[in-house]
Structure formats: C-alpha cells, structure tokens
Amino acid sequence: MFPKPFDRFVPQFFKRDAKLKAFTDKHDEIIGYFESDILGINKFNDPAFAPSFLLDRIGYGFNAGINARDSDALKRKKIARAVSGHKQRGSFKLDAKPKIDAICGGDSKIIRSFDKDDWIITGDGLTPTEYYWGAIGCDGIDDGLGISIIGSGKEIEVAGNIYIDVDNSALTAEQQDQIKIDLNDICPDYFYVHFGYINILGQFIEYFVMGE
C-alpha cells in the first residue's frame, strides 16, 4: 500500500504550516508516479494501454508487422489483430482487410465483376500473345449487344486480377507505401492486386497495382 496522503503519517507534534504542506504534497506527487508505473504493469499486455515505448517490442513478439512509419495508433491496431491474422494468414477478411482498414480508415472490400461482359472469346490457345481478346454481350447496353475489347490482361473480368476498394478517395503517397509494405508478403504470386476506390459515378479509380 502506498502511504497517501503522506500528511497522515507525519507525527502530530510537527507544525502544520505551509512548508510542511509543500513537503507532503511533493511526497504525494512522487509516490503517485511510482504508483502509476507499478499498478500499470498489469495493462502492459493490452495494446490499448501499453506504453508507447514498448509497442515496438510487443509488436516484434507478436510478429505484428510493425514498421518505422507506423503511428502509435496503427501499431496498437496491428498488435491487437496480429494473432487472428496469423491464424487466417492470407485471407482477405481476417488478414488483409484489417491491415488495409487500419491504414485507410475505411471499410475495404473486394470488388466483384457481376455486371461486366458475359462471354469472353479467345483464339486457338496457340497464339503466343493472348491479348487479342474480345467480349461479346455487354451488360448495361440497351439492346443487349456490343463488343468490349480486352487488351492488357489486367481487366477485372480476367482471372488473376483482384480489385480492392480501400474506401478512401484521398490516400497519401505515404499511406499507399504503407499498404505495399504491409501486404507485400500476403499478396498471391502470379496475381495482379489493384488498389483504388469507387467514385460517385461508380467508377473504380486506381491508386496502384501490386504484382507487376
């Protein structure tokens, strides 16, 4: 138990003047620092309350993927989600999405291609360059007819392309770099992962692509 207030432990024969009060007040102040440090140890395992100077060490212990650019708030989020992320390594919902949302502050999601071209026609499979593709029967056209040319192989309709809406239309260059660092080891090989946002017109505005 900490002797507070210290005035109760000063013998009664001492005069209760301003000097004694200043002394006992200072004592209580100093004891308060020790009390806070000692009683706060039980919160060191809680990323929301752990001291800032311990976050890097805690993050290392949990392999939380903390890097030098991370703010204290981002470090705490990574630590809190590290264990669940390791259990579901590589999944979007439990690994990639929490990392993206911690950086972007939104509700990220994978964009599905439900309203794109219905049929994709390719060549005979022997052509060295399979970029000369065409899709017939486009949705959204009044008469149901039309041709949509697919050229680069990075369109959302093409297998191996993952489009992620980060739900933030104002990402800084630093935030984009953070995403690249944090997701570098979980993006699937041989895939193109596109990061961007949906504007008010429903268009996907791309920030960058990983896997190129």
pLDDT tens for 157-212 read: 777 889 999 999 999 999 999 899 888 888 888 899 999 999 998 889 999 999 87
Residues 6 or more apart whose Cβ sits within 8 Å of residue 79 = 47, 55, 58, 59, 62, 64, 66
Asked if residue 150 belongs to a domain, the reply is no
Asked if residue 13 belongs to a domain, the reply is yes
Order across the sheet with 109-110: list the strands: 109-110, 161-165, 192-198, 204-210
Asked if residue 25 belongs to a domain, the reply is yes
21 to 16, 38, 68: CA distances (angstroms): 7, 26, 46
The predicted-structure confidence for 24-45, as pLDDT tens digits, reads as follows: 888 778 877 677 666 667 777 7
Tell me the pTM. 0.55
Domain limits at 33? 6-43
The domain tally of the chain equals: 1
Phi, psi of 135, deg, nearest 5: -115, 130
Q: Tokens representing 129?
A: 């360059």
